[in-house]
C-alpha cells in the first residue's frame, strides 16, 4: 500500500482521538482511520469488534480501511459497492480500537472505542466530529453489545434521527443449512441497503 498520511484535514481530528486512545493501555496501539475514508465528512459510521491483522501488527497497514487485504475488508468493499456506498461515505471504527492480535479483549478493551472509561465518552466525541452523520452500522455481536451498553447509559448523547442498523460480522454469514445462510446474507445486505438509504437523505 502506498504511503498514507493520517493527518489529512478530513481525518486529522479523528486520528487525534485515536492517538489519545493509544495511550490508555500500556503498549497499546490503535490503527488510524485512513484518509481513503470520509473521516469527519462521512455520513456512515461502521463499527466492528476490533482491528484485524490487515490493520494492526507487524504486517498490517496501520490503518482502518476497506482497502486492507484481509477477508473482512474485502467483504465490506463488495457490500458497500453493491449498495452504492463510496469509501468517502464511511468512517470505520471498532468497539475495541486497540490491536490485540488473535487474543480476546478484556471487558475494558472490548468497549474502549465506545467509552474508554466511565467519563471519557469516546463515542459522543467521535460523533461530534462528524456533523453529517446519518447512520451507524453495527457489524457483529461485539459492536452491538458495546453500542447497547452505551445507549443504555447515554441515550441523550445519541443524535435524534440517527439510523442504527445491526447485522452479523462481515465474515459471519456461514451456516451449515443453505437456507439459513441465504437468509442471514439477505439480512446483512438489507442492513447495508438501509444505511445507504439513510446516507442519501438530505
Pick the closest to residue 42 from 114, 124, 111, 127 (CA basis).
Answer: 127
Q: Does the structure show a pLDDT above 50 at 118?
A: no
Tell me how far apart the alpha carbons of residues 132 and 43 are, in angstroms, rounded to a whole number.
5
Hey, where are the domains in the chain?
12-199
Cell of 7: 493527518
Mean pLDDT of all residues in 22-49: 90
Cβ–Cβ under 8 Å, residues 36 and 67: yes
pLDDT at 131 over 90: yes
In this model, does residue 126 exceed pLDDT 80? yes
Mean pLDDT of 14-34: 86
Residue 138 reports pLDDT greater than 90:
yes
Question: What is the b/e burial string over 121-136, where b = at least 16 CB atoms within 10 angstroms of the residue's CB?
Answer: bbbbebbebbeebbbb
Q: Which fold has domain 12-199?
A: Uracil-DNA Glycosylase, subunit E (3.40.470)
Q: Which has the closest alpha carbon to 51: 101, 126, 14?
A: 101
Mean pLDDT score across all residues of the chain: 89
Over residues 154-182, the pLDDT tens digits come to: 788 888 999 999 999 999 999 999 999 99
Q: Average of pLDDT values for 129-138?
A: 97
Q: In the prediction, which pLDDT does 120 show?
A: 59
Cβ atoms 195, 85 nearer than 8 A = yes
What pLDDT was estimated at residue 115?
A: 55
Rounded to whole angstroms, the Cα distance separating 95 from 72 reads 16
Q: What confidence tens digit (pLDDT) does each residue in 93-107 have?
A: 998 888 887 777 776
Could you tell me how far CA 110 lies from the centroid of its own chain?
Answer: 13
Percentage of residues of the chain with pLDDT beyond 90:
62
What average pLDDT does range 28-39 have in this prediction?
A: 93
- What share of the chain has pLDDT > 70, as a percent? 90
Amino acid at each position: 500500500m502506498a504511503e498514507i498520511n493520517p493527518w489529512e484535514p478530513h481525518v486529522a481530528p479523528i486520528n487525534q482521538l485515536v492517538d489519545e486512545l493509544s495511550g490508555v493501555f500500556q503498549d497499546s496501539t490503535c490503527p488510524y482511520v485512513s484518509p481513503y475514508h470520509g473521516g469527519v465528512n462521512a455520513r456512515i459510521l461502521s463499527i466492528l469488534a476490533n482491528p484485524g491483522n490487515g490493520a494492526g501488527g507487524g504486517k498490517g497497514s496501520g490503518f482502518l480501511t476497506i482497502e486492507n487485504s484481509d477477508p473482512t475488508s474485502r467483504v465490506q468493499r463488495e457490500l458497500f459497492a453493491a449498495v452504492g456506498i463510496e469509501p468517502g461515505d464511511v468512517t470505520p471504527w471498532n468497539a475495541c480500537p486497540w490491536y490485540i492480535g488473535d487474543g480476546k479483549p478484556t471487558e475494558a478493551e472490548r468497549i474502549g472505542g465506545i467509552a474508554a472509561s466511565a467519563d471519557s465518552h469516546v463515542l459522543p466525541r467521535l460523533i461530534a466530529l462528524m456533523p453529517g452523520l446519518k447512520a451507524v452500522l453495527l457489524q457483529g455481536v461485539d459492536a452491538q453489545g458495546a453500542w447497547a451498553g452505551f445507549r443504555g447509559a447515554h441515550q441523550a448523547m445519541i443524535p435524534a434521527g440517527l439510523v442504527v442498523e445491526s447485522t452479523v460480522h462481515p465474515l459471519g454469514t456461514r451456516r451449515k443449512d443453505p437456507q439459513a445462510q441465504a437468509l442471514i446474507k439477505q439480512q446483512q445486505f438489507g442492513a447495508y441497503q438501509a444505511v445507504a438509504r439513510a446516507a442519501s437523505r438530505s
